[in-house]
Amino acid sequence: MASFNKVILMGNLTRDPDVRATGSSGMKVARLGLAVNERRRDRNGQMQEFPVFVDVDAWDKLAELCGQYLTKGRSILVEGRLQMDSWEKDGVKHQKLKVRASTIKFLPQGDRLAGAPKAEVPVSVSMPESDPDDIPF
């Protein structure tokens, strides 16, 4: 059966990136929280924004760059794929759907990224795939 798994989201970071090293290989992984607003009419017919909160994982050099340049509130565009995270805690199984980033564009805002190259266009960083089973948390 054919399938296709690609996600493109644009929103604002809900917190500073959490960058850690994996246990066995020492590869970096950054966890990002992204808020994406969905505009739709409420029950009274008024246009409202409804936030959708998405967890995003970035790996390797992309993780390092996110930790170096991104902060809470920064606008980004993420391209990646959906991935199911499963774990067991206190005998209870848990699952969470998240996005594994392949490209993150640091979108320009009022001031440019601290230390980032001066550019009139968004800064885009892509990384090759890494081992998803090598997550420290």
Alpha-carbon distance of 21 to 27, in angstroms, equals 5
Tens-digit pLDDT profile for residues 59-85? 999 999 999 999 999 999 999 999 999
Catalogue the long-range contacts made by 68-73 (C-beta closer than 8 Å, 24 or more residues apart): 68/115, 69/106, 69/113, 69/114, 69/115, 69/116, 69/123, 70/13, 70/16, 70/17, 70/32, 70/106, 71/13, 71/16, 72/13, 72/14, 72/15, 72/16, 73/12, 73/13
Tens-digit pLDDT profile for residues 6-63? 999 999 999 999 999 988 888 999 999 999 999 999 899 999 999 999 999 999 999 9
Half-sphere exposure of 72 (CA within 13 A, CB side): 4
What the block records as the tokens of 33 is 């929280």
pLDDT of residue 24: 81
Q: Which residue in 94, 37, 29 sits closest to 67, CA to CA?
A: 29
Q: Which residue in 54, 51, 41 sits closest to 8, CA to CA?
A: 54
Contact indicator for 116, 108 with CB cutoff of 8 Å:
no
What the block records as the tokens of 80 is 């990646």
